[in-house]
Amino acid sequence: MNRTPRLYPSLRVLVGAMVAVMAATALAAGPQSSGLDLGGIDRSVAPGDDFFAYANGAWLATTEIPADRASWGAGEITDELTRKRTSELIQAAAHGAAPGSDAARVGTYYAAFMDEASIEHAGLKPLAAGLKRIGAITDRRGLAGVLGSTLRADVDVLNSTNLHTENLFGLWVAQDLSDPSRYLPFLLQGGLAMPDRDYYLNPSEKMSTIRKQYQAHIATVMRLAGFDQPEARAQRVFDLETRIARAHVSREDSEDVQKGNNHWQRADFEKRAPGLDWGAYLAAAGLGEQPTFVVWQPGALTGTAALVGSEPLASWQDWLRFHYVEHYASYLNQALANEHFEFHGHILSGTPQLAPRWKRAVDATNLAVGEAVGRLYVERYFPPSEKARAQAMVKNLLAAFSARIDHLEWMAPQTRAEAKAKLAALKIGIGYPDHWRSYQGLEVRRADAFGNAERAGLFELRSSLRKLGTPVDRGEWVMNPQEVNAVNLPAMNALNFPAAILQPPFFDRSRPQVMDYGAIGATIGHEISHSFDDQGALFDSQGKLRNWWTPSDFAHFEAAGKALAAQFDAYRPFPDVHVNGKQTLSENIADVAGLSAAYDAWHLSLGGAKPAGADNFSAEQLFFLSYAQSWRSKIREAAIRRQIVTNGHAPDQYRADTVRNLDPWYAAFGVKAGQKLYLEPAARVRVW
């Protein structure tokens, strides 16, 4: 889940030299436009009181979140542009593509989703075969077989809002953390249609209201799908999911790799998780011959398996019916699609309006045949010159991070050597994979949106299972090139920076280079530093889960982490809720370290030249303002509440205020003691 063309060393040197010459030329040209959104700055706010509001306050005051969005900001604006471009590419692919080619699959998948007339005409018919299988269950073995047949490679482990799956368990095929030379299947807790166990168990008034709305949603889905006694069925489904939620482990524990790295042999399942017929389940899932698994949340697996053995078959059948319809609602008639949005989009995220069909069609096509779409995107929108420019920036960031490791006074020589080895072995993918994936064998039909989605899910499952027993490919990507995001893969010791994030406002050749270092440079530094955060630091240069720190070094690192967690615990978007500093610690460490490395890398890029400011801001101020405006975001209340419960990332406004841990920010904006963001020098967190 990473692949990149490599520049030869001589070319890397040449590119670096060219960038240095360009930077010196720009500096020599004198005053220039900064590329900042000057009108978005709120000069009535002191930078030292609220840097996010200072950089973005005027924009926040005048910006409305689009009706089909839960939030709106730099990332979403870039995503919207990318989605529009992608839609045009997809539609063009439908014309003139060779039959049977991936481009033809892309165009056909999109066209089938857009064909509302065919979808409405089909009505509930696409559900018939699946519902018949569920209705034919007569015993626990049959139940296990149907449950196993629903297993899919659908757990998005990169997105901490989706560490669960609606299916009974989630599957992720990836490197064994104890032996990263081989792939293993990871089984994760699942079975819930709401985002997290907290939605079922938290006694607060808000969560209680959501639970009532969820029960009503289940009943409505059952009614629209043609079932009698929808309220009674909804009660059974809700009660069963609540019991499953009680077996789930917490979000914090789910993100702890030490607690998650549990190897079970095939024989362990019956002994440690009785109640489920594991032979029938795993055979139906295509894993009947697999000897070894990683069980990420053993308690959840044990508890859920016990429920399979104890709860009435009728309850499990209604649970399966509901989840089957719920999972494919977007590919069914408009009534079901609207109901799905009403709960998951409107109630859970606060989004007032369902996105236009063309946007949903792009998302569905990206989900099913994403790399084929990405290939079209890269050919049109990511030229080699931008790739080379990004690679030059990466080179400076790696050098800056290496220098920071060299200057850590608290780090023992043996830990330093391990850290340098890990940095040297880091594989960084820029823009797109080394080798494009083929979707040969995936059948896509023009008037079968539902069937296309079912076949795409099964195709993804089988593709994942085929990796078992094969050599690990460190060039494998887990993101599509058209995603506005980036990722660190600890077991691969690799990074992915998709093409779509390497564009304005994060990466823009038309503005001073300092702006790019403050924006995308901090993101690149963030992902590099994930290799050394509270979780990444547990993996060595080969991606093996191994403690390579001396006890005293790790104690120092943990102390810094606790200080940062306490800093974020104090942030309260609403009086009754605060950021979870421990849950967001990995990302917060990466923000501090990444911004620090980006600052050093920017100075390294200058080659000794004196940086010029612009628009009455110094170059130092431009760096930090670029960072803060890259986190520009406005978010609905329901969405931010959901994020705090389910997400490993702090809300964007608090990430922008990471600057308070860097000494140069204080000097750049004259921040003084007594201002709200001021930290005494000893209290500023310096992780790397």
Q: Is the pLDDT of residue 255 over 90?
A: no
The answer to the question of residue 366 being in a domain is no
Shared-domain flag, residues 257 and 397 = no
Q: State the pLDDT at residue 164.
A: 55
Kindly indicate the confidence band of residue 12, based on its pLDDT and cuts at 50, 70 and 90. very low
**Domain harbouring 193, CATH code:** 1.10.1380.10
Q: Is the pLDDT of residue 81 over 50?
A: yes
Shared-domain flag, residues 575 and 653 = yes
Shared-domain flag, residues 569 and 489 = yes
Q: State the pLDDT at residue 266.
A: 97
Q: State the pLDDT at residue 521.
A: 97
Q: State the pLDDT at residue 9.
A: 24
One-letter identity of residue 380: R
Q: In the predicted model, what is the mean pLDDT of the chain?
A: 91
Q: State the pLDDT at residue 5.
A: 27
In terms of phi and psi (left: phi > 0; alpha: psi -120 to 50; beta: otherwise), the region of 675 is beta
Report the predicted TM-score, pTM, of the whole model to 2 decimal places. Answer: 0.89
Rounded-to-10 torsion of CA 264, 266, 272, 274: 150
* Backbone dihedral angles phi then psi of residue 142, each to the nearest 5 degrees: -65, -40
The answer to the question of residue 25 being in a domain is yes
One-letter identity of residue 113: F
Q: Identify the bridge partners of residue 633 per DSSP, sorted by sequence position.
A: 73
Q: Which of 275, 290, 313 is the last residue of a domain?
A: 313
Q: State the pLDDT at residue 251.
A: 86
Q: Is the pLDDT of residue 30 over 90?
A: no
* DSSP one-letter string for 190-215: ---SSSSTHHHH--SHHHHHHHHHHH
Which residues, in sequence order, are CB contacts of 552 under 8 Å at separation 6+? Answer: 412
* DSSP one-letter string for 452-475: HHHHHHHHHHHHHHTTTTS---TT
49: which DSSP letter? T
Shared-domain flag, residues 411 and 298 = no
The answer to the question of residue 23 being in a domain is yes
Q: Which of 259, 284, 313 is the last residue of a domain?
A: 313
Shared-domain flag, residues 673 and 525 = yes
pLDDT tens-digit series, residues 257-266: 999 999 999 9
Cβ atoms within 10 Å, residue 78: 18
Q: Is the pLDDT of residue 78 over 80?
A: yes
What is the average per-residue pLDDT within 206-213?
97
The span from the first CA to the last CA of the chain, in angstroms, equals 27
In terms of phi and psi (left: phi > 0; alpha: psi -120 to 50; beta: otherwise), the region of 543 is left
410: which DSSP letter? T
pLDDT tens-digit series, residues 213-233: 999 999 999 999 999 999 999
Q: Is the pLDDT of residue 27 over 80?
A: no
Shared-domain flag, residues 304 and 392 = no
**Domain harbouring 504, CATH code:** 3.40.390.10
Which residues, in sequence order, are CB contacts of 265 under 8 Å at separation 6+? Answer: 291, 292, 293
Least confident of 53-67, 274-288, 532-546: 532-546
Q: State the pLDDT at residue 435.
A: 93
Kindly indicate the confidence band of residue 687, based on its pLDDT and cuts at 50, 70 and 90. confident
Compute the Cα dihedral for 262, 150, 446, 356 and give only its sign: negative
Q: State the pLDDT at residue 23.
A: 30
Shared-domain flag, residues 660 and 583 = yes
The answer to the question of residue 321 being in a domain is no
- Cα–Cα dist 197/200, whole Å: 5
The answer to the question of residue 46 being in a domain is yes
Q: State the pLDDT at residue 29.
A: 30
pLDDT tens-digit series, residues 649-680: 999 999 999 999 999 999 999 999 999 999 99
The CA-atom distances, in angstroms, between 42 and each of 440, 450, 511 are 53, 49, 22
The answer to the question of residue 442 being in a domain is no
pLDDT tens-digit series, residues 592-607: 999 999 999 999 999 9
Q: State the pLDDT at residue 157.
A: 53
Shared-domain flag, residues 218 and 307 = yes
Q: State the pLDDT at residue 35.
A: 86
517: which DSSP letter? I
Question: Mapping DSSP to helix (H, G, I), strand (E, B) and coil, where does residue 69 land?
Answer: coil
Q: Is the pLDDT of residue 158 over 80?
A: no
pLDDT tens-digit series, residues 418-463: 999 999 999 999 999 999 999 999 999 999 999 999 999 999 999 9
Kindly indicate the confidence band of residue 556, based on its pLDDT and cuts at 50, 70 and 90. confident
Which is more confidently placed, 535 or 491? 491
Q: Is the pLDDT of residue 32 over 70?
A: no
Least confident of 27-36, 105-114, 314-323: 27-36
605 touches 516 (CB < 8 A)? no
For the chain, the domain total comes to 2
Shared-domain flag, residues 545 and 671 = yes
DSSP H or E run through 186: strand 183-189
Kindly indicate the confidence band of residue 535, based on its pLDDT and cuts at 50, 70 and 90. confident
- Nearest Cα neighbor of 563 from 650, 686, 412 is 686
568 touches 651 (CB < 8 A)? no
What's the half-sphere exposure (Cβ side, CA atoms, 13 Å) at 460? 22
- Cα–Cα dist 544/142, whole Å: 39
Q: Which residue stretches of 570-618 are H helix?
A: 585-605
% the chain with pLDDT above 70: 94
What is the average per-residue pLDDT within 20-26?
28
The answer to the question of residue 129 being in a domain is no
- Nearest Cα neighbor of 36 from 605, 665, 510 is 510
The answer to the question of residue 370 being in a domain is no
Q: Which of 313, 336, 352 is the last residue of a domain?
A: 313
Q: State the pLDDT at residue 154.
A: 79
Compute the Cα dihedral for 102, 357, 85, 328 and give only its sign: negative
Shared-domain flag, residues 638 and 560 = yes
Shared-domain flag, residues 50 and 167 = no
Full residue range of the structural domain in which residue 247 is found: 140-313
Shared-domain flag, residues 159 and 278 = yes
Rounded-to-10 torsion of CA 466, 169, 345, 458: 30
